[in-house]
């Protein structure tokens, strides 16, 4: 395909998959159960954190997490006592366990109490065409309170070679407009032009088949290569092509 044909093909796939019925089997369904900005972003962040593995398992365990937070994420984060975290005992999603979840709640309390919330932590460190430095700085703030070393693996660091798929997905949810009823458009301090595609097995394989990616590993260098090529198709909203790449890979077995 020529670049023009590729853009037309992918734009059509974006229209096909960037639709509300996409929510039925997608983790973004969880934050869509809330209406308050802070409840949406906290539930989205926690859901994105465990968004790897079987999609049904992700949805089930994200729903369990929200129930453990009394289905009121901000209120729980701000007002919980240490005793309230004991009910997390037994929670697990793959390698993310009750201890990890307890720390995440404590760290979120620190962020909303002392850093004015998640958006205010991510926004100041952004670059014109990248959030990767911002994600790295976010990790430093997230773990500025006492923590177990094992929990740090649940927040990726692009400056150490990670594609940071789950945080890039979370940022897409928060930043891209909600005109189609999928993403939320809650954050105004970050532009869609600064976002990166959530790079995983599915999107990576499709990108390689379409000539958008040559690097074999799904790492930070691959993400930069993919970002560059997607920005050549749409500099203002390159991450919209996540819908096309993911849809082609998961639903069409492209």
Say which residue the tokens 């009910």 belong to: 87
> Tell me, what's the pLDDT at 148?
96
- DSSP notation for 187-215: -SSS-GGG------HHHHHHHHHTTS---
Nearest of 56, 2, 6 to residue 27 by alpha carbon: 56
Contact yes or no for 83/118 (Cβ under 8 A)? no
Q: Percentage of the chain with pLDDT > 70?
A: 100
pLDDT tens-digit series, residues 175-234: 999 999 999 999 999 999 999 999 999 999 999 999 999 999 999 999 999 999 999 999
pLDDT tens-digit series, residues 19-36: 999 888 899 999 999 999
Structure tokens at 179: 């005109």
Q: What is the mean pLDDT of residues 7-11?
A: 98
Structure tokens at 55: 């999609």
Q: What is the mean pLDDT of residues 94-113?
A: 98
Does the structure show a pLDDT above 80 at 126? no
Does the structure show a pLDDT above 90 at 114? yes
| 130 band by pLDDT with thresholds 50, 70 and 90 | confident
| 129 band by pLDDT with thresholds 50, 70 and 90 | confident
Does the structure show a pLDDT above 90 at 124? no
Does the structure show a pLDDT above 80 at 128? no
| Cα–Cα distance, 71 to 93 (Å, whole number) | 19
For the chain, the structural domain boundaries read 3-250
Mean pLDDT of the chain: 95
For 217, the enclosing helix (H) or strand (E) is none
Nearest of 144, 131, 143 to residue 224 by alpha carbon: 131
Does the structure show a pLDDT above 90 at 41? yes
With a CB cutoff of 8 Å and minimum separation 6, the contacts of 225 are 213, 214, 215
Nearest of 55, 94, 190 to residue 135 by alpha carbon: 190
> Tell me, what's the pLDDT at 253?
84
Long-range contacts of the stretch 106-113 (C-beta < 8 A, 24+): 106/145, 107/142, 107/143, 107/145, 107/147, 108/42, 108/45, 108/77, 109/77, 109/78, 109/80, 110/144, 110/145, 111/141, 111/142, 112/38, 112/74, 112/77, 112/78, 113/78
> Tell me, what's the pLDDT at 171?
98
> Which of 68-82, 108-122, 125-139, 154-168 has the least mean pLDDT?
125-139
Nearest of 140, 236, 184 to residue 47 by alpha carbon: 184
pLDDT tens-digit series, residues 159-172: 999 999 999 999 99
Q: What is the mean pLDDT of residues 8-26?
A: 93
CA distances from 162 to 34, 133, 187, 218 (A): 30, 12, 24, 8
For 14, the enclosing helix (H) or strand (E) is helix 3-17
Q: Percentage of the chain with pLDDT > 90?
A: 91
pLDDT tens-digit series, residues 145-159: 999 999 999 999 999
> Tell me, what's the pLDDT at 22?
84
Reported residue count of the chain is 254
């Amino acid at each position: 395909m020529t670049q023009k044909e590729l853009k037309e093909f992918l734009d059509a796939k974006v229209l096909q998959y960037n639709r509300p019925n996409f929510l039925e089997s997608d983790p973004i369904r969880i934050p869509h159960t809330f209406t308050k900005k802070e409840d949406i972003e906290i539930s989205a962040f926690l859901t994105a954190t465990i968004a790897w593995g079987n999609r049904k398992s992700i949805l089930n365990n994200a729903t369990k997490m929200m129930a453990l937070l009394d289905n009121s994420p901000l209120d729980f984060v701000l007002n919980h006592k240490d005793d309230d975290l004991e009910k997390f005992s037994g929670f697990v999603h793959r390698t993310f366990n009750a201890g990890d979840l307890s720390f995440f709640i404590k760290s979120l309390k620190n962020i909303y109490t002392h850093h004015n919330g998640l958006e205010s932590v991510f926004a100041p460190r952004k670059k014109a065409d990248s959030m990767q430095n911002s994600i790295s700085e976010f990790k430093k703030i997230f773990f500025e309170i006492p923590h177990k070393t094992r929990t740090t693996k649940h927040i990726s660091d692009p400056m150490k070679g990670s594609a940071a798929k789950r945080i890039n997905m979370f940022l897409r949810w928060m930043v891209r407009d909600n005109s189609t009823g999928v993403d939320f458009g809650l954050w105004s301090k970050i532009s869609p032009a600064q976002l990166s595609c959530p790079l995983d097995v599915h999107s990576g394989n499709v990108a390689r088949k379409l000539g958008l990616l040559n690097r074999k590993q799904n790492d930070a260098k691959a993400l930069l290569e993919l970002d560059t090529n997607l920005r050549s198709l749409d500099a203002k909203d390159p991450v919209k092509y996540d819908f096309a790449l993911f849809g082609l890979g998961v639903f069409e077995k492209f």
